[in-house]
Structure 1
Amino acid sequence: MIFGGGFFYRLRRVTLPLITGNYAIGALLVFVKAVSEYGTPATIGQRIGFSVFVTAIHHNATIAPINFNAAASLSSLLIFICFCIWFLQNYVTAKKSYKLVGGKGTKLVVKKLSAHQKIAAWGYIIALLVVAIGIPYFSVVMTSLIRLRGQGMASGNFTLAHYSQLLTENPRAVQAFRNSLFLAFFSATIAAVLGTACASIIYFSQTKFRKVLHVMSLLPDMLPSIVFSIGIMIFWNSIFHIIPLYNHIGIMLLAYVTLFLPFSVQYVTSSYTQIADSLIWAGSVFGGTPFYVFRRIIFPLLLRGIFVGWMMTFIISFRELVTASILSPPNTLVVSTFIMREFEQGSVSVGMAMAVLTVLFTTGTLVIINSFLRREES
């Protein structure tokens, strides 16, 4: 600091005011995700009698006696809370924005850490990875391999029979995996096509409709997925005599595409922002039609964003729980509802074996697509 001041003075008067806005935004986002989370309270909270918004909504909408009015009322209240947090986030963002890129050049300064600082930094990273990733995944893998839960991780109490049962003796598990693969692939593909179309209209259009389309395409990301699923269920149930889509796997595909469309829109829009206008102008100057310019210049530059959006939609759709548990037709399982059912029926090891296979499959898909994208760049 040119004008002096110790470490705590700089932290209190310079650093903290700059990062307060980011911390506030992060806290608000965590609040919205926590208040709309379903998996954790459904598996752990119900066992200890701890009910939250999402479990109460799910109970009223799926368990007899069905009470759509109560589910809709709780959903409306949850929407109100989420929108209040969204407006508060916009307010904080507007008040805590700083112009960090100016006309003057900046020099990157690399600070070398001392031995004690390196130990502390690596210790923090390792501890975070162990607590957030290592312990949960270790527990899942060990549970899938245990023969008798009462004996714990004793010698001789490990077996691969649960995996063999899933792959050879349990046709419902195989069908659940196929259903998830079908829904994930087609929802990701349809969302990629629609997301590219929406982002293109938003980028090229000069009318007020572009703003409306932008908000509508991102709206599902602002709503809790359980509220969105309840709305789809009530709407299609009310017009079942006109379009019999309710209680059909098609309604799950429709919900997945609509719910995860914002991923494709955001990634393709981000790719558009990296394309210089001069490239488009050059194509037009040399006689290229708008379709030719899009096909030969713009679309190849958008491919990475389209693939990344497809990959995110595929992985999230493959393990989606809330929408599947509410909208899945009778006797139709996906991997998430299969795991939940096995967990509720006491077959925890079988459910965890399916969870391990799901993680391996989605991780392998992620690695393959990333390798393909890196090979295309080189």
Structure 2
Amino acid sequence: MFISKHIPFWMLFALLGLLAAAPLLAVLGYTFTEEGTLSFTAFSEALHNERILSTMEHSFVLGLLVILGTTIIALPLAIIRTKTQFANKNWLDIVFTIPFMTPPYIGSMGWMQFMQHNGYYESIFTVPAPASFFSLAGMVFIMSMHLYPFLYLMLRNTLIRINGSFQDAADIYGRSPFMNWIRIVLPLLLSTYAMASLLIFIKTLAEFGTPATFGKQIGFYVFTTEIHQYLSRWPVNISAATSLSLILLSVCMVIWYLQNIISRRYAYGIHSGRSSIPAPKKDSQAVRIISWFYVTVILLLSIGVPYFSIVATSLLKVRGDGLQWDNITFSHYIELFSLHSEGFYALMNSFGFALVAATAAAVIGLFTALSIKDASNKPQKLMDLTSMMPNIIPGIVFVVGLIIFWNARWLPATIYNTKWMPIVTYIVLFLPYAVQYTKGSISQLHQSIHASNAVYGTSKLTIFIRIWLPLLAQGILAGWIMTFIISMRELVGSLLILPPSVSTSATFIYSQFEQGDAGAGMSMAVITVFVTILFITIMNWIQRKALTHS
């Protein structure tokens, strides 16, 4: 093939190693070496640092509580979505993904604006907002509302795949429907639930946006915010940052390993020759009312409240005057789109960085996916694992590694403190999306296509351009869109690696919120969310169009 002939496997693997492996090796090297010799002093001091130990405790407690919170939300939703009148309402799945696709720091800011003193809660209900919201419980609630779609979709998919014969067997079992569900259906869900819960735990440990906004206000610091503080506040403590990053990396790798064991050993076959759809049952009046009420409340809390708060804040002249028609203004948006304004520069920087990063990631992802193919040999499996590392390991660990790597004294040149630094950071963090979407397109191609290429009778470059690119275009474009969306709203990497006096939409939102100018920050947040929804809609339209023509 053109790729394997003109871009050798080892060159591509070396590029992936530079992007994904070098930052991690830099973290290890900085943590365990001192003046060129092996040393465990910095890591040992970190393990005996009371502040770091407190941070670890906070992170683990938060992770466990968020698992509990997402379970309380997602499990009833999955049951309602598959076992009641909502089974045919497929549009709900798209709506339920909106909280997950909303940048967490934006959702957190929305809830803070709603529940703060003299906030929207008091304006609407004319009673003081519960002070207990600004606590660990409130933080768990906000993060659960952001992450529940992930658990919901996995549980729903498993419930859909459970064969109708299992439902029939449960009816014949001879006990109450509730006990039958506990004894038969629930065990079939445990494998999926365990895997999803571990992934949610990792996502909670790796999350920066909500801890940096809400957690900071209540004084609850976790891995990510502590690492950020060590690198962004004087005196800078790189050793503590790398040691904490290594602890976070180790925890996530152990959890990832456990997740793989569960997926291999504790999965159940839930398909057979019979129909996978159980006989429809008519819902009782009580079930219909409870189902509608529960779905409505979840959508209101996960989408309605934060989005209302974000949009309302972006339109207010003076926040203290509340929701009144004479207090509505579009001045924040006008300022945002005014040439030479700080917000406009930040927005253009985000577009520019995301455009270059997404395009570069799409190209690298295409070559990587074509080289991996079906990962039939060890080098291909190793390349596949290397390309997936940024999805397994928290982004802030990679950011710390990139800072250390690009400041190494032995480098002849560096991109640190240049505009190339955020671009390279986005490529490193979000390359897995480009690889996985393209791999998905390759896996759908029939083997006969590979054979037909050999008899096409023209050059390999022509085959690549005329055959491979059109066939893989959907996956390449989907990967490009996802990389672009997430790069546009990336916060933690942007805060740590942007050159002086350069900002992006995410850092603009964060800084305006910190400085008390919530209106300007929320107007940028509305634009960011609008761009996200627009691009997701385009991607879904492309995928549906591809399915109709397949």
TM range (shorter): over 0.9
Cα deviation, 1:96-148, whole Å, max 9, x if unaligned, reads 2123345x364644525425334433333222211111110100001111121
Aligned match of 2:231: 61
Aligned match of 2:196: 26
Indicate which of 419, 430, 444 corresponds to 1:274: 444
Is the aligned partner of 1:215 residue 2:385? yes
Aligned match of 1:321: 491
Cα contact 2:375–2:381 (8 A) shared by 1? no
Aligned match of 1:134: 304
Cα contact 1:79–1:223 (8 A) shared by 2? yes
User: What is the percentage of aligned positions where both structures have the same residue?
Assistant: 38
Deviates more, 1:353-362 or 1:323-332: 353-362
Q: Distance in 2 between matches of 1:16 and 1:194?
A: 42
Deviates more, 1:361-370 or 1:281-290: 281-290
TM-score normalised by L of structure 1: 0.92
Aligned match of 1:358: 528
Aligned match of 2:280: 111
Cα contact 1:280–1:293 (8 A) shared by 2? no
Q: Distance in 2 between matches of 1:292 and 1:101?
A: 43
Indicate which of 186, 208, 217 corresponds to 1:38: 208
1:170-319 mapped onto 2 (5 Å cutoff): 171-203=341-373, 207-239=377-409, 242-284=412-454, 287=457, 291=461, 293-319=463-489
Q: CA deviation at 1:288?
A: 6.4
Q: CA deviation at 1:159?
A: 1.5
Aligned match of 2:136: none
Q: CA deviation at 1:91?
A: 1.7
Q: Distance in 2 between matches of 1:252 and 1:305?
A: 25
Q: Distance in 2 between matches of 1:170 and 1:344?
A: 22
Q: Name structure 2 gaps, 5 residues minimum.
A: 1-167
Deviates more, 1:3-12 or 1:354-363: 3-12
Q: Distance in 2 between matches of 1:140 and 1:240?
A: 47
Q: Name structure 1 gaps, 5 residues minimum.
A: none
Tell me how many residue pairs correspond in the alignment.
377
Q: Distance in 2 between matches of 1:278 and 1:98?
A: 33
Q: Distance in 2 between matches of 1:309 and 1:41?
A: 28
1:5-20 mapped onto 2 (5 Å cutoff): 5-6=174-175, 7-20=177-190
Aligned match of 1:148: 318
Is the aligned partner of 1:349 residue 2:519? yes
Q: Distance in 2 between matches of 1:107 and 1:330?
A: 58
Q: CA deviation at 1:294?
A: 4.2
Q: CA deviation at 1:70?
A: 0.6
Indicate which of 117, 121, 126 corresponds to 2:291: 121
Q: CA deviation at 1:282?
A: 3.5
Q: Distance in 2 between matches of 1:277 and 1:339?
A: 49
Q: Distance in 1 between matches of 2:261 and 2:525?
A: 40
TM-score normalised by L of structure 2: 0.65
Structure 1 234/9 Cα, relative in aligned 2: closer, same or farther at 3 Å?
A: same
The SS at the match of 2:519 is helix
Structure 1 170/348 Cα, relative in aligned 2: closer, same or farther at 3 Å?
A: farther
The SS at the match of 1:275 is coil
Q: Which amino acid aligns with 1:334?
A: T
Cα contact 1:240–1:246 (8 A) shared by 2? no
Q: Which amino acid aligns with 2:346?
A: A
Q: Distance in 1 between matches of 2:336 and 2:382?
A: 47
Cα contact 1:198–1:265 (8 A) shared by 2? yes
Deviates more, 1:25-34 or 1:201-210: 201-210
Cα deviation, 1:346-366, whole Å, max 9, x if unaligned, reads 101110011112222332333
Q: Which amino acid aligns with 1:223?
A: I
Q: Distance in 2 between matches of 1:49 and 1:204?
A: 48
Q: Distance in 2 between matches of 1:141 and 1:306?
A: 33
Structure 1 112/281 Cα, relative in aligned 2: closer, same or farther at 3 Å?
A: farther
Q: CA deviation at 1:297?
A: 3.7
Q: Distance in 2 between matches of 1:285 and 1:121?
A: 58
Cα deviation, 1:180-210, whole Å, max 9, x if unaligned, reads 0011111111111111111111106754210
Cα contact 1:145–1:158 (8 A) shared by 2? yes
Q: Which amino acid aligns with 1:302?
A: L
Cα contact 1:284–1:290 (8 A) shared by 2? no
Q: Which amino acid aligns with 1:24?
A: A
Q: CA deviation at 1:332?
A: 0.4
Deviates more, 1:349-358 or 1:364-373: 364-373
Q: Which amino acid aligns with 2:386?
A: M
Structure 1 193/113 Cα, relative in aligned 2: closer, same or farther at 3 Å?
A: farther
Deviates more, 1:113-122 or 1:58-67: 113-122
Cα deviation, 1:288-343, whole Å, max 9, x if unaligned, reads 66555544444322111111111111100000001100100000000000011111
